[in-house]
Structure 1
Amino acid sequence: MSEAKNESAQSDALIDAFKALDTASVSDAMDKLGLEAGCLGIKPVVTGVKFAGRAFTVKYRACGVVERGTVGDFLDDVPTGHVIVIDNGGRIDCTVWGDIMTTLAHRMGVAATVIDGVCRDVPKIRELSYPIFTRDYYMMTGKDRVELEGLNVPVNVANRQVRPGDIVVGDDSGVVVVPASRAAEVLEVARQIEHTEQEILKRIAKGQTLREARSELQYHALQTPSQVKN
């Protein structure tokens, strides 16, 4: 296997591993590593869906008075399996995502869309069960109100920086962003946390008290920071 293909296979394996975890375990792992994780206020439009994938970032800005930009044409360039992360500055007065984009993203195999802002055409999102996580939904178009500022540049979502290639994980509890440079480390700690929590459940099922199970497995220290790296 060539070096490039080997890196791709490792990357895919990392994404698959994060898909098996929930956001709570990932968030706790990042707490333990001294990293900020959750995107406050970003929630699923459709419940019961989860995702993990590399970030393809999009940044919008308000339109000028004279020149007006476009909304959404970048979608043709998004790789299969990636997560579209859109920074619309948290605006809830105009949308940057609608039914045409939902339909195409679903067809292309895009993993999910995360928007610091709003979407519209919710019936199509629900029909396809496409994972979209936003602040809310609202029908007013972003055309002539916002324009594209940059693609695959660092963006902000709920005061969390997201860089191209970072791993984004989402489920009914919300969205977490894992820096690519720390992803393997976060994964290892998250797996340990999830294993411990499952072990507690097994012990409770056998009659052990919650207090005893948690104490023996050091549950209350699971997310306590062990070492903060700059």
Structure 2
Amino acid sequence: MALNPTTRAQLMKVSTATLCTALFKRGLRNQFLQDVHPLRAGRANMVGEAFTLRYIPAREDLNPISVFQNPDHPQRKAVEDCPPGAVLVIDSRKDARAASAGSILASRLMQRGVAGLVTDGGFRDTPDIAALDMPAYHHRPSAPTNLTLHQAIDINVPIGCGDVAVFPGDVVVGDSEGVIVIPAHLADEIAAEATEMTAFEDFVTEKVMEGRTIIGLYPPTNPQALTDFAAWRQAHGR
């Protein structure tokens, strides 16, 4: 089932921190990818359904550079099959000694309308990927070709990325801090709750900057805080 456009729009405006809290309320503690960072911070959120690619350790006799001549090579096929609006998530076993992809493949994904690119390994050509009009996240730059250490083996199967289980169709959100994975069946309610949480946190931030104590305000244990929040929402159209 395609991602609800309302849900996508809501997730574009909330932080991964807020989403972590909403998921934690449901007992999900390990949805934020570890050691995965944006190539370029300060851009709009990345939001899309996960389309996955899995690498295993390369076996030299099966992974010469000639494998790229095969049109069905899993890495190449993933780039061409990842749906527009989806996020290509690559399981590189947290090994950034060789690149998960480079600028040409990333450029092709961008031109095809893919929403973003994520790996728990590294990218090569990172200045060029960072300049693309598509968010990308990795551990660190890595110049060697993926073939030296990684063998692309599976497309659109459950993977691990940054110590998080990622299933095809899960909703992936990235911001300037990192990437979080929302189980597909929770996406709509998490997006709605995070939108409400963001409104309240914006109100709290404004009041704290005015000099107000957080006691009774955050969390709103003082009833006056909720009264003030209701008035704030009306005044701000939130």
Please say whether Structure 1 and Structure 2 have the same fold, judged by a TM-score greater than 0.5. Answer: yes
Instruction: For residue 78 of structure 1, report the CA deviation from its aligned partner.
Output: 1.1
Counterpart selection for 2:19 from 19, 26, 39: 26
Instruction: For residue 204 of structure 1, report the CA deviation from its aligned partner.
Output: 3.2
Q: Which amino acid aligns with 2:106?
A: T
Instruction: For residue 157 of structure 1, report the CA deviation from its aligned partner.
Output: 0.9
1:174-215 per-position Cα deviation (integer Å, ceiling 9, x unaligned): 110000011123223212321221121233355533334225
Does residue 47 of structure 1 match 2:41? yes
* Shift in alpha-carbon separation, 1:202–1:156, aligned structure 2, 3 A: same
Instruction: For residue 26 of structure 1, report the CA deviation from its aligned partner.
Output: 0.6
Contact residue 116 and residue 135 of structure 2 kept, 8 A: yes
Does residue 85 of structure 1 match 2:85? no
Calculate the TM-score normalised by the size of structure 1: 0.84
CA distance in 2, matches of 1:216, 1:157: 36
Instruction: For residue 140 of structure 1, report the CA deviation from its aligned partner.
Output: 0.7
SS in 2 for 1:182: helix
Q: Which amino acid aligns with 1:18?
A: L
* Shift in alpha-carbon separation, 1:154–1:215, aligned structure 2, 3 A: closer
Contact residue 97 and residue 149 of structure 2 kept, 8 A: no
Aligned to 2:196: 192
CA distance in 2, matches of 1:205, 1:91: 42
Contact residue 130 and residue 136 of structure 2 kept, 8 A: no
Calculate the TM-score normalised by the size of structure 2: 0.81
Counterpart selection for 1:108 from 112, 120, 126: 112
How many aligned residue pairs are there? 211
SS in 1 for 2:198: helix
Q: Which amino acid aligns with 2:41?
A: T
CA distance in 1, matches of 2:149, 2:204: 51
Q: Which amino acid aligns with 1:38?
A: F
CA distance in 1, matches of 2:166, 2:188: 17
* Shift in alpha-carbon separation, 1:95–1:15, aligned structure 2, 3 A: same
1:82-105 per-position Cα deviation (integer Å, ceiling 9, x unaligned): 000000111111112101012111
Counterpart selection for 1:174 from 163, 174, 178: 178
- Share of identical aligned residues, percent? 27
Per mean C-alpha deviation after superposition, the further-off stretch among 79-88 and 33-42 is 33-42
Q: Which amino acid aligns with 2:24?
A: D
Contact residue 46 and residue 129 of structure 1 kept, 8 A: no
Contact residue 98 and residue 148 of structure 2 kept, 8 A: no
Counterpart selection for 2:217 from 189, 213, 219: 213
Unaligned 5+ residue runs, structure 2? 69-73, 223-238
SS in 2 for 1:138: coil
Aligned to 1:226: none
Contact residue 42 and residue 133 of structure 1 kept, 8 A: yes
Aligned to 1:56: 51
Does residue 164 of structure 1 match 2:164? no
Contact residue 196 and residue 217 of structure 1 kept, 8 A: no
